[in-house]
Structure 1
Amino acid sequence: MKTKVSRAGVALVALLATAGTAVAEGEWSGNVAITSDYVWRGISQTDEDPAIQGGFDYANGMFYAGTWASNVDFGDDSDTNIEVDFYGGLAGALESGVTWDVGVIYYAYPDADESDLDFVEIKGALGYEFAGGLGVGGEVYWDPDNQNVYYQATAGYGLTDAFAVDASVGNYSFDGGGDYTNWSLGGTYSLPIGIDVDLRYWGTDVDDTSIADERVVLTFAKSL
C-alpha cells in the first residue's frame, strides 16, 4: 500500500516554498518521545516493538512545516528501519470558532533496500471546541498516486489543566480494493516536569495479522 511518490511530491515542494524569506521570523519547536509500540491508523509499524521518535516544527502565521522520524520494522524484504516524514500546510480559525488545516505530508523510508515505499498524502481537517471544553474534529487524507483515502473523526475533553481524554475512529480504503476501520481511546497526563504520559487503547476490524490486533500503548513525550 506504500508505493513510489510521483506527481504528488510536487505539491509538497510548492507548499513549502510559500514560506519565502519569512522563515527567519517564525517560531521553532521540537519534540521527542519513547513509545511501547509505534501504531499508525491501528497498525503496528514496529512489529509490536518499542520506538524512539522525534521531530521539529516551524510556524509563521497560518503557515507551518516540520519533519518527524521514528524507527520502524515492517518485517518484510524492504529491510527498512526508519521513517522520516516531511510536512507543511496552512491552518487557521474562522470567526465562528471552526479551525481548519490544509497540508501535505511526505512519508519517506530512505534505507529501504528492495522497494520504494515513499508516498504522499494531501490532508484536510476541520475542528471545533465547545464552551464546555469538548473538542471535535474530522480529517481526510488522500494519497493521489495510489488513490487511497483515510477518514478520521476525533473527540477530546480536558478534565483538568493537566489531564485530557480523547477518542478517534477512522476508515482506510484502498483503490486496489478493500478497507478497514480502526479506533482508539486514550488519556494524556502532563507531569510537572514537562513530560506528557499517554496511555492508549487501539483496535481494528482486521483479523488476519497480529500487528493489527487490539493493544495498549504507553508513550512518554516531551516538547523542546
Structure 2
Amino acid sequence: MKTQGKRVAVIAALAVALCAGSAQAQVQVSGNATLTSDYVWRGSTQSDGDPAAQAGVKVSSHGWYASGWGSNVSFKPDNGAHTEFDLVAGWSGALATDWNVDVNLTRYLYPGTGRRLDWTEGSATLSWRQYAWLQVAHSSDALAGGHRGTYGLLGARLPLGQKLRLEAAVGHYWLDAAQGPDYTHGQLSAIATLTPTWELRATVHDTDNAARRLFPGAAGGRFELALQGSF
C-alpha cells in the first residue's frame, strides 16, 4: 500500500507541475467521448457485455501530459465496482524521424471497492509513422492481484482511403504463476471517419483458452461497436 501511495503521489505531482507551468507555457486541452456496445480491455469485457459510456480529458504542454478517463463497468460476480477512473501522467514526443515514444504511469481506480481493486502500471509505447506500434507495460500489482505482470501489444494500421482504415493488434499478458496463466488476445477493427471529430469503430476480439479460464464468461470471442468523438 505504501508503494501504491508513492505512485499516486508521483502522478499527482506531475499533474500539479504541468498545471503550475501553464502560465508560462502553452497548454493544450483535449477530450474524447465514446459510446460502445461492450467495454473490452485486453481481451475481456469490463462491462459484462453491456454498453458503456466513456469520456476523458487531457492537458498537455511540451510533451508532458496528464489525463483522466472514466467508464461504467460491471463484473460477475459483483465485486462492488460500477465505475472505473484512470489517471495518467506521462511524456510523449519524437525520438527520430518517423519514430515516436510515449511513456506514462497509469493509476486504475474503482470507487466503492475500498481500494481493493485499485492498481498502478507503467507503460511505454514506440510507434512508427502511425502505422505500427509496440507497447510494453509492467506492474508489481497487476490487476490488483498482488503479483507482478508484464503486458505486450503489437499493433498495425492500414489506411483504406481518406475515411476508412483497418487496425489489428495482438497482445500477450505474462502473469505471475500465483495469480493465473499467461494469456494471448487479438483484435481486428474497421474504423470509418464520419466527421473530422467522430468515428465509428467495429471490432472483433478473441482470446486463447488461458484467458477463458482466467476470466470465465468475460474472455473469448466478442464483437464491439463504438462511436467515438474527440474535441
TM over 0.5: yes
**Aligned letter for 1:220?**
L
Any idea what SS the aligned residue of 1:212 has? coil
Where structure 1 has 5 or more consecutive residues not aligned to the other structure, the ranges are none
Partner of 1:137: 133
Q: Equivalents in 1 of 2:220, 2:140: separation in Å? A: 28
Return the offset for 1:65. Answer: 1.2
**Aligned letter for 2:140?**
P
Q: Equivalents in 1 of 2:76, 2:218: separation in Å? A: 10
The question of whether the paired residues in 2 share the 8 Å contact of 1:8 and 1:144 is answered with: no
Q: Does 1:201 align with 2:201?
A: no
Write the deviation string for residues 144-200 of structure 1: whole angstroms up to 9, x where unpaired.
333111111111122222211110001112123421101000011111373210000
The question of whether the paired residues in 2 share the 8 Å contact of 1:57 and 1:66 is answered with: yes
> Aligned runs of 1:69-218 on 2, under 5 Å?
69-112=70-113, 116-129=116-129, 135-145=131-141, 146-175=147-176, 176=178, 177-192=180-195, 194-205=197-208, 206-208=211-213, 209-218=216-225
Q: Equivalents in 1 of 2:57, 2:212: separation in Å? A: 36
**Aligned letter for 1:53?**
Q
Return the offset for 1:43. Answer: 0.4
The question of whether the paired residues in 1 share the 8 Å contact of 2:122 and 2:139 is answered with: yes
Q: Give the superposed CA RMSD.
A: 1.9
Q: TM-score, normalised by structure 1?
A: 0.89
Write the deviation string for residues 34-82 of structure 1: whole angstroms up to 9, x where unpaired.
1000000000001111101001111111111110000000123422100
Q: TM-score, normalised by structure 2?
A: 0.86
Any idea what SS the aligned residue of 1:22 has? helix
Q: Equivalents in 1 of 2:191, 2:159: separation in Å? A: 9
More helix by share: 2
Where structure 2 has 5 or more consecutive residues not aligned to the other structure, the ranges are 142-146
Any idea what SS the aligned residue of 1:183 has? strand
Return the offset for 1:97. Answer: 2.0
Return the offset for 1:17. Answer: 4.2
> Aligned runs of 1:1-40 on 2, under 5 Å?
5-19=4-18, 21-24=20-23, 25-40=26-41
